[in-house]
Amino acid sequence: MLIRRPNGLDIPYASEITPQAVYEQRREFIKKMAMGAAAGGALWEMANREAFAQTAAAKLPAKLNPAYSALDKQTPFKDASTYNNYYEFGTDKSEPAVNAHTLKTRPWTVSIEGEVKKPMTIDIDALSKLAPLEERAYRLRCVEGWSMVIPWIGYSLSNLIKKVEPTGNAKYVEFVTLADPKQMPGVNSRVLNWPYVEGLRMDEAMHPLTLLTVGMYGQVLPNQNGAPVRIVVPWKYGFKSAKSIVKIRFVKDMPKTAWNISAPSEYGFYSNVNPDVDHPRWSQATERRIGEDGFFQKKRKTLMFNGYNDVASLYTGMDLKKNF
């Protein structure tokens, strides 16, 4: 995301993503060519991969929770599912949608362990049913300076935390994600320390906004968005929202997280969205909302805690410049 392409922010979004009409024409063209060509050829594979990136996944009904839903215009599904950071499937924004079809999301279990009275290993389908699923449109602000509004489906992580009964020693929660080189081509590169690990302080993890997420836009999560289960922490930069989780560990000490290990002076543990604390290499004062990328479009002002002011009380008395 950041280290390899420090100037990536300056590339206009429109040049990175193929416009829909062109994209669809191209897809049709490739398909026709492939059908005419020998079966099993490279073109056929290309057509399938592109089609896969666009295929609607299984429907996932959930009741809208208006109390936790942003009213901002939602980002089109096509953008949210083809402009992704998921380094296990490549470092370019367009790569996860093309490559993540190799991720096998069933069978899938999540192990919940560490400082809890009732550790468990739970199957993804049981995990999805542990509490009623809600739809919540959240703003997602990437540390790179762009944002989206995505209607996620899931439930507050606190529901799961209460079930496993953390001990008094549980001060942090660590999210460990899948790192399987057989399914994930990016894991063969050394761009990050694998597995991708993220973490939250216990009170952050218990905050009702922290969403254990299994779907978006009325469907199960596309692989490139972190299937089958991820977290979404809307007041923090997007990289805190770990994808494809296999382990949730309750621990005493602050977890060592992937981006913090990679560049400690650039990515702190807290990583709360904060327009007053610049990234060492760029300002965080504004953002461009994906879908609002006209040449003359003004950038939006970034809001403290991404506009989720409810969470401010979690940080009372803390120096947020020091604890960035």
Q: Which one of the spans 20-28, 46-54, 166-174, 241-249 is the region binding ligand MTE (CB under 6 A)? A: 241-249
Q: Does 84 contact ligand MTE by CB under 6 A?
A: yes
Rounded to whole angstroms, the Cα distance separating 179 from 276 reads: 34
Q: With contact defined as beta carbons under 8 Å apart, do 168 and 250 qualify?
A: no
Q: Does 134 contact ligand MTE by CB under 6 A?
A: no
Q: Does 241 contact ligand MTE by CB under 6 A?
A: yes
314 phi/psi in degrees, rounded to 5: -70, -20
| Residue number, 6 or 41, with CB nearest to ligand MTE | 6
| Residue number, 139 or 207, with CB nearest to ligand MTE | 139
Q: Does 75 contact ligand MTE by CB under 6 A?
A: no
Q: Does 108 contact ligand MTE by CB under 6 A?
A: no
User: Judged by CB under 6 A, which of 101, 139, 236, 243 binds ligand MTE?
Assistant: 243
Neighbours of 308 (CB within 10 A): 21
| Residue number, 115 or 174, with CB nearest to ligand MTE | 174
Rounded to whole angstroms, the Cα distance separating 260 from 6 reads: 17
Report helix angle 42-54 to 20-36, nearest 10. Answer: 140
- The DSSP bridge pattern shows strands 172-177 and 245-251 to be antiparallel
User: Judged by CB under 6 A, which of 68, 86, 138, 235 binds ligand MTE?
Assistant: 86
In the complex, minimum distance from the CB of residue 36 to ligand MTE, in angstroms, rounded to a whole number: 35
Enumerate residues 256-315 that contact ligand MTE by CB under 6 A.
none
Half-sphere exposure for 237 (CA within 13 Å, toward CB) = 28
Q: Which residue of this chain has its Cβ atom nearest to ligand MTE in the complex?
A: 238
Q: Does 242 contact ligand MTE by CB under 6 A?
A: yes
Cα→Cα distances 256→6, 135, 193, 199, 226, Å: 23, 31, 10, 8, 21
Interface contacts to ligand MTE, rule CB under 6 A: 1, 84-88, 140, 142, 177, 196, 225-226, 238-239, 241-244
